[in-house]
């Protein structure tokens, strides 16, 4: 029986796998070199180099000029990194006094800590959370996520009620905007009217009426309360 050594994955490789994982979840079959380069804020030539290395390690399927997709092993590795990232985000918000716009940068570092026991114990300590502070699902040990049926706020009809369950943009600027208007996970929102010209929405948040742009409405995930 051959000894299978789980090949070492470097920090940089983990980041590439994570980028491909996120880009691939948009229902795309193969992810393009340029898309990865843009996401990673690097050059296409660097991406090609790394892709070759990942293909060599059987973490991605790669055909020249045709983009990449994750192998089963690559997907599991990426999911493990995402799992750690989101668990740490929960830790930072729930146990330390971080707000949801402060966690990303630190979680980007913590997600690379290697220790199975650490992840398992952290999961237990946090009482097995299923979602991170932005409403994103936390993959389980096998990389599976229970996807919830969330829709984009801008797709709701006038007069519908809903609850905020996530955000599509987790940038600090956007999250601070939401804080300013008292929109958080669990907040009740009602669509009062939609402006035909710019598709901005007038909504009611906790009895306060505010106006939000289409861009904002496109980045808030909600669960419809009435159908």
Work out what residue 177 binds among a second copy, DNA, none; the CB cut-off runs from 5 to 8 Å by kind: none
Q: Which of 6, 27, 29, 65 binds DNA (CB under 7 A)?
A: 65
The residue behind tokens 């389980």 is 140
Name the pairing type of β-strands 68-70 and 60-62.
antiparallel
Indicate which single residue of 10, 45, 58, 109 sits in contact with a second copy (rule: CB under 8 A): 109
By a kind-dependent CB cut-off of 5 to 8 A, residue 10 interacts, out of a second copy, DNA, none, with: DNA
Instruction: Select 81 or 164, whichever has its Cβ closest to DNA.
Output: 81
Among 39, 44, 71, 169, binds DNA (CB under 7 A): 44
User: H/E element holding 189?
Assistant: strand 188-194
Q: 224 - beta bridge partners?
A: 162
Structure tokens given for 165? 């369950």
Per CB under 8 A, does 6 bind a second copy? no
Tokens of 28: 């795309």
Which one among 28, 49, 58, 118 touches a second copy, defined by CB under 8 A?
Answer: 118
> Is residue 87 involved in binding a second copy (CB under 8 A)?
no
Q: Check binding of 45 to DNA (CB under 7 A).
A: yes
Residue 42 binds DNA (CB under 7 A) = yes
- Residue length of the chain: 227
DSSP 8-state symbol, 31: B
Q: How far apart are CA 186 and CA 133, in angstroms?
A: 11
- Contact status: 67 vs DNA (CB under 7 A): yes
**Which CB sits closer to DNA, 54 or 164?**
54
Q: Which is nearer to DNA, 67 or 166 (CB)?
A: 67
3-state DSSP call for residue 128?
Answer: coil
Is the Cβ of residue 43 or residue 176 nearer to DNA in the bound state? 43
For residue 206, the tally of other CB atoms under 10 A from its CB is 10
Residues in a beta bridge with 55: none
Select the binding partner of residue 105 from DNA, a second copy, none (C-beta < 5 to 8 A, by kind).
a second copy
Pairing of strands 208-212, 188-194: unpaired
Rg value, the chain, Cα:
20
The footprint of a second copy (CB under 8 A) covers: 92, 95-98, 102, 105-106, 109-110, 113-115, 117-118, 121-122, 124-125
């Amino acid at each position: 029986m051959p000894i299978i050594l789980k090949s070492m994955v470097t920090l940089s490789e983990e980041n590439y796998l994570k980028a491909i994982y996120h880009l691939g979840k948009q229902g795309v079959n193969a992810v393009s070199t340029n898309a990865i380069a843009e996401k990673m804020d690097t050059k296409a030539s660097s991406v090609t180099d790394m892709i070759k290395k990942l293909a060599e390690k059987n973490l991605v399927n790669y055909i020249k000029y045709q983009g990449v997709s994750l192998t089963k092993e690559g997907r599991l590795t990426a999911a493990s990194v995402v799992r750690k990232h989101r668990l740490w985000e929960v830790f930072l918000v729930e146990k330390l006094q971080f707000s949801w716009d402060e966690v990303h940068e630190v979680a980007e570092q913590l997600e690379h800590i290697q220790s199975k026991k650490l992840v398992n114990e952290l999961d237990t300590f946090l009482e097995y959370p299923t979602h991170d502070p932005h409403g994103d699902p936390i993959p389980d040990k096998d990389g599976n996520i229970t996807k919830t049926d969330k829709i984009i706020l801008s797709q709701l009809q006038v007069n519908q009620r809903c609850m905020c369950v996530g955000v599509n943009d987790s940038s600090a600027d956007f999250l601070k905007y939401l804080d300013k208007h008292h929109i958080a996970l669990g907040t009740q929102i009602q669509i009062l009217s939609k402006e035909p010209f710019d598709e901005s929405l007038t909504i009611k948040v906790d009895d306060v009426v505010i106006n939000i742009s289409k861009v904002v409405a496109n980045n808030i995930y909600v669960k419809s309360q009435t159908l």
